Amino acid sequence: MTTPAIINYLVALFMLCSPLTAIPAFLSLTHKKTKDDRRHIAISLGSAVAVVLCITPWIGGPLLSFLGIRIAAFQCAGGIVVFLLALSMLNAQMSPMRQTEEEEPPGTTAIPIVPLAIPMMAGPGAMSSAIAAANIHPSWSNHLILSICGLVIGAVTSIILYFAIQLEKKLGNAGLNVVTRLGGLILAALSIELFAQGVEGLFNIR
């Protein structure tokens, strides 16, 4: 993988996981927790995101092959999913593909891996992007790079949620919404690129 490709993948993963937009939900679901408990939960959530993003490049493609789904078809579907997420972000809203009311835990006694880590951050969009990148860069060394990128995003997620209270105070709702909308615009462009690559693969366009 070239350096620009790695940077693009990191940016795409960060925007898809969008830990900044998860701050309100994180604070809401952990409002009865102590400061230390919240920090422990933040680290756990980041670790869960990292695990998902690390293993997806390795097992995503073979799983699709086992199910008889072409990578190009998955790229098209992934592009559509990412575009729908981008539209929600442009409206500064949380997409139902990330979290539904039924997925919200009834209490705060446990670490809310679901829905905060999965599917809110490491959801369909992030996994689609990881599988598509693994198909474009098929060697094991590139898969290793993609896994390292997943670790980086997991670490960044932990850091952002670790300092969630301070970030919310500094950015405010307006600031978080601006970041979300900018991320949505970038994601929309990336989703079209992903969809176009899928169409090229499906119809052998060169």
Instruction: Report pLDDT digits (tens) over 167-182.
Output: 878 877 777 777 778 7
**pLDDT above 70: residue 134:** yes
Least confident of 59-63, 115-119, 129-133: 115-119
> Average pLDDT of the chain?
81
pLDDT at 159: 96
Q: How many helices (H) and strands (E) does the chain have?
A: 7, 0
Mean pLDDT of 12-40: 83
pLDDT at 92: 67
Residue 35 confidence class, pLDDT cut points 50, 70, 90:
confident
**pLDDT above 90: residue 45:** yes
Residue 143 confidence class, pLDDT cut points 50, 70, 90:
very high
Burial class (CB in 10 A: 0-12, 13-18, 19+), 146: buried
Residue 107 confidence class, pLDDT cut points 50, 70, 90:
very low
Domain ranges of the chain: 34-96+112-203
Q: Which region holds residue 158: left if phi is over 0, alpha if psi is between -120 and 50, else beta?
A: alpha
Mean pLDDT of 46-66: 92
103, two tokens: 């997925």
Residue 43 and residue 30 in contact, taking contact as beta carbons nearer than 8 Å: no
pLDDT at 163: 93
Residue 133 confidence class, pLDDT cut points 50, 70, 90:
very high
**pLDDT above 50: residue 108:** no
Mean pLDDT of 117-121: 77
Long-range contacts of residues 179-183, Cβ cutoff 8 Å, at least 24 apart = 179/20, 179/21, 180/18, 180/20, 180/21, 180/89, 180/92, 181/89, 181/90, 181/92, 183/15, 183/18, 183/20, 183/21, 183/89
Prediction pTM value: 0.71
Range among 21-35, 40-54, 103-117 with highest mean pLDDT value? 40-54
**pLDDT above 80: residue 43:** yes
Query: How far is Cα 54 from Cα 147, in angstroms, rounded to an integer?
Result: 4
Distances (CA, A) of 17 to 12, 33, 93: 9, 24, 14
Residue 191 and residue 83 in contact, taking contact as beta carbons nearer than 8 Å: yes
